[in-house]
Structure 1
Amino acid sequence: MEPEKNIPENYQHIMPYLVIPNADKFIAFMKTVFGATEQYKAMRDENTIMHAELSIKGSTIMFAGCTDTFTQQNAGMFIYVDNCDETYHKALDNGAESIIPPANQSYGRSAGVKDPFGNTWWVTNVL
């Protein structure tokens, strides 16, 4: 019988991995808008993040800064938040662009923004 394999603590089976410009500023954006906490950061040099990890309520996002070898790779993400309207406005106040303003949908109050790093966020109230 094979031994049981475990995923390291604080990690999930699937996690987004982004390669983004201004990755250092992404950390500040995520902390301010979504209440993220920094789990890990390794630098390629003094200006470029080689690998970093943020946690939002138990979910991990991994990312790195763009280089000539590792070009920009964005994602569209869905996130449950306590207050869709508040989070939407925090995102806009921190450089995001509106895709869809907050509105009541059949699945809850929801909005869409594109962050300054090229990622799309579908923000929905926790039911």
Structure 2
Amino acid sequence: MSVKPIPEGYHSITPYLGIQQAAEAIEFYKKAFNATEVMRLTMPDGNIGHAELRIGDSAIMLGTPCDQGPLSNPQQAVSIGLHLYVTDVDQSFQQALDAGAQSVSEVKDQFYGDRSGTLIDPFGHLWFLATHKEDLSEEQIRQRAMEMFNQG
């Protein structure tokens, strides 16, 4: 049996977050997004060298940034947002707020068929939470977008 180039249970892209307070972030993601911890490699200095979590059917990896690595904290500017589809966006959004996230934009129905809201976690990462409500063609999305833009 040959080794698969993409391991079982992974998708082609897996976000890897650099978080100074990685251990605290793991606990937050468990509370906010029902993450399960797959593994954690704690370094002798107590920092997290590598950790992997599962949220739904997807993995995220994270670790404490070090001087030798390319990861840094997002404190100065957010450069990535994580999009998380959930069964009930209203409930999940509130759960994340209760766990310590801050609302960037409240949950609302979107022109492209999702109901979504945006949060920032206590570690500076942006999360787009959504529940897909309506299957639309690209043309329908474009038409709704134009109607929305023409209203404002």
TM-score tier (shorter): 0.7 to 0.9
CA distance in 2: counterparts of 1:119 and 1:126, whole angstroms: 22
CA distance in 2: counterparts of 1:24 and 1:82, whole angstroms: 27
2:97 paired residue number = 92
* Structure of greater relative contact order (alpha carbons < 8 Å, 6+ residues apart): 1
Change over 3 Å in CA distance of 1:105–1:40 after alignment to 2: same
CA distance in 2: counterparts of 1:4 and 1:27, whole angstroms: 30
Structure of higher CA gyration radius: 2
Counterpart residue identity of residue 82, structure 1: T
TM-score, length-normalised on structure 1? 0.87
| 1:64 and 2:63 aligned | yes
Counterpart residue identity of residue 21, structure 1: Q
The structure with more strand, counted as a fraction of residues? 1
Aligned length: 125
Q: Which runs of 5+ in 2 are unaligned?
A: 134-152
Q: Which runs of 5+ in 1 are unaligned?
A: none
The percent identity for this pair of structures is 37
Counterpart residue identity of residue 23, structure 2: D
RMSD: 1.9
CA distance in 1: counterparts of 2:110 and 2:130, whole angstroms: 9
Shift of 1:55: 0.9
CA distance in 1: counterparts of 2:4 and 2:94, whole angstroms: 42
1:39 paired residue number = 38
**Alignment deviations for residues 9-62 of structure 1 (CA, whole Å, 9 cap, x no partner):** 222211111111211111111111211111111112252100000011221101
Shift of 1:94: 1.6
Counterpart residue identity of residue 97, structure 2: L
CA distance in 1: counterparts of 2:86 and 2:66, whole angstroms: 32
CA distance in 1: counterparts of 2:73 and 2:17, whole angstroms: 8
Counterpart residue identity of residue 91, structure 2: E
